[in-house]
Chain A
Amino acid sequence: MGENVVGRSVRRPDLIEKVTGAAEYCVDVTMPGMAHAKIVRSDRAHARITGIDVAAALESPGVVAVVTADDIAALYARFGHIISDHWILATGKVRYYGEPVAVVVAETVAAAADAVELVLVSYEDLPAVMDVDAALAGGAPLVHEQSYDATGDESFQNLSHLEDEADDTEAVLSNIAHEVNVGWGDVDAAFAEAAVVVENTVHFPMLYAYAMEPYNAVASYHEGALTVVSTAQHPYMVRDDLARVFSLPLSRVRVTSPYLGGGYGSKSYTKVEPLASVASWVTGRPVKLTLTVEEAIYTTRVDSARIWVKSGFAADGTILAREFDIVMDSGAYADNSPLVMAKSVNRCFGPYRVPHLRARGRSIYTNTSPASSYRGFGAPQGNLAGETNLDQAAERLGISGADIRRRNLVRKGEEILPGKRGIDADIPADLEMVVESLERDRKDVPYYGIGFGCSASDAGAYPISTAQVRVQIDGSVLVLSGSTEMGQGSRSLLAQVAAEELGVDLSVVTVVQSDTSVTPYERTTGASRTTTLVGLALQRACADARSRLRDMAAELFECSPGEVRDLPGAVAGPDGRELDFGAVVRQWFGGSAGEVTGVGLLRRDGATQKMPPFWEVGMVGVAVEIDPETGVVAVDQLVTVADVGFAINPRAVEGQDLGAATQGLGSALHEELVYDGAQLANANVVDYRVPRVKDLPRKIDLMIAERRDGVGPYGAKGAGEGTLNPIGGAVAAAVARAVGKWPDRLPLTPERVWRLMSSD
């Protein structure tokens, strides 16, 4: 459609500096007079704190202070954007092994680390609930003996598809952090009429969203203002939490996120920022806190899940009804798990026509590391259940996995959640692309299996986005956005959109991101939203800048603004006179100085009125070959379709899909956090096995479907999460077809596959 800059695989501007190591990450940031913090952590799962003796630690060389809950009792010492239940420092009791109990602040990291050993915490052990069964048992000890008020995060209601929830009733205290119910129709009647009913239970593993950079932050509280540089995906959300902690106006809290070394959802919302901030508040000095990988794993992990699913089918494979019961182990604090659960319930039944549905999800407190967001937001968990159930039904019905999906997939425009946006994609066409690619390269060897799966996620999160463009006197352009560059490539993408809209060369556009006191508001960087929502806000900012430039040019041309025409990087007057943007600015201000700012605002309105802003389709297939003697699963083929409407940077889309698929293969085949008593047996990346280059599939086919059917710029929709969601189910189905038996849990480690093959 005549675009010049978008739609091309431009080289990302951060490429060279990241490869050479010159790029600045949070860990590189220092502040004058900075001290260093190390955290004293709980060494038990659940215990009352009976005393903290800091005397020896304070005498240790170089120690500045030891901060405990008592020191911050005057503050609002909790955070949590949905349920404000997360104590900055354990108060009264510890709820999991690894929970922060005190912060040691010292002149050097080594001095702080030494003094951590000298802080003597006395405990009185309490019975612990280490898994969901223990937590749900009658008379189970409570992880939280109080209920907490919701923070009034309105968008949470809008992001979940909830039935009327009676929030006002006084709930009996339990270990259920959050419960979600979704449904319609008469499920029981439909099951009674079904020709075939298929029921199964799956277990999704406890994961760590491994990012190379662990959480870290440097904070300075000075004269009633707080400045924080951190590894936050959502600096504005962190700012809001910190402002509440210190009762500061939002304008007095500044949170900046430099490049992130990977996020994958694990860096969404507040993590170590309160610890560094209260340490600075107590000591009056800037404080830097950098976690190890082990500490990061004990800060945030991924919800594990047990999901029971039952589906009823007509004899031809048409879905009549589906029922799901999802139980997630959310750990000691809710963090974002309620939203993960709400999304899991929305996403578990898939992009199919389901006339009768009943889905229940419960997010459970246990005495384990707190769980929160993870790429895909509840979809990987729910999809594993929904898709393997569908494939088992196909087996029972004697039809293929492709045919049962062809029969039930929704067409473009159909709603899968009543009242929400209809599906903005041609999912059946995507399925055919995957099946064709897989079958084309199918190998005729023993222990070989093909699996594929679909998902559709209500993506984009809540549509509040702002962007600014600042046109300079030389015609170069600054783009300001509160969306965070965490490796996904938003910096080059936003530059492409601005260059396209203003008609300037990509090389003169610079993107500045994620500084709450400089860049305009962005709610979050997640749910694959940046391309669609920030892209729209940025288009509006560019249009606003152009409008202002036309007005200024009209004054210079002495004509009406309507007579000024837009040209690439320039304007033209009625007499044909042309002025480039720089000249307009210089001549209007009259002093070879000045700039023009365009502002773009996006809210739930117009094209982005209906929720979700777009559907993110996941469409993948795998082929596996199994070593029958060892149970090792080799991935022979990986096939993905990015249904993105329009790929603004095709290579970046492929990178997102390969990354998401590889991360999915990690949890399908290798990754699982394992609790051994109170603590994890593998809280490190030697024993927690993430994918390696040698694990890459032999054939990788990353396809892009461009049908310009998104609400975003040029018909674009987001990418980044979708491809992960159906990988687990696809791998499980492929393994089942290779060995003739259905697995019920991930990861499919060599021993699990060997046992599956050896079982009766």
Chain B
Amino acid sequence: MDTLVQIKNLSKTYESIDGKVNAIKDVTFDIYKNEFLTIIGSSGCGKSTILNILDQLDKEYQGTIEFTEDINIGYMLQEDALFEWLTVEENALLGLKILKKLNDETRKYTISLLDKYGLKDFKDKYPKSLSGGMRQRVALIRTLATKPKILLMDEPFSALDYQTRLQVSDDVYRIIKQEGMTVVMVSHDLAESISVSDRIIVLSKRPATIKNIYKIELSNKSTPIENRKAKEFAYYYDILWKDLDKNV
């Protein structure tokens, strides 16, 4: 498999009022092309910090991150963070606009994504008239419009109710696969992680270190909802749960 990113001995400490806090310690892993990689761990263990570092939002860390090619990274946050005063189309174009990459071609591409993923009739509407799932799709398209090679997702469905969440994760998974993305997702939902991922990294409690990396091999791999029915599902759930449980 082609390696896109090599992360070596990544550590992060930050100062707080109670002294130095070790958030991440000696984390080493690779990101392969076209894979869906999920990082799980208990809350507050520094999962999001790894994404922030990968996207260079956080530049104070030790260790090395090597990109094998010039890679454009997209980042999808926990909340959709749509701007209420912009229309759906303007929201979708926001990233391009700020990156100063908005031209006829990228605009056309973004609109085609909106059309393709069920937002055709909502382009001139404001976010308040969208359902939670639709908002999440707009947020995803806003990121995809910038044509990232790697998509980082920080618990992208956590703001949704369970029913919507299943549907949206199916939607998003389909879009990601169709657009041929490499994904690094952070989550604390085991079932969701197993249902979408090719590999799962389990982090320990703070300071976060890598406990295990699992390759998820499900028979008849298809959509996330279908994957939950695979016979290996319970097996992975069990070992992941035990991995996490020991840390609590």
A binds B: no
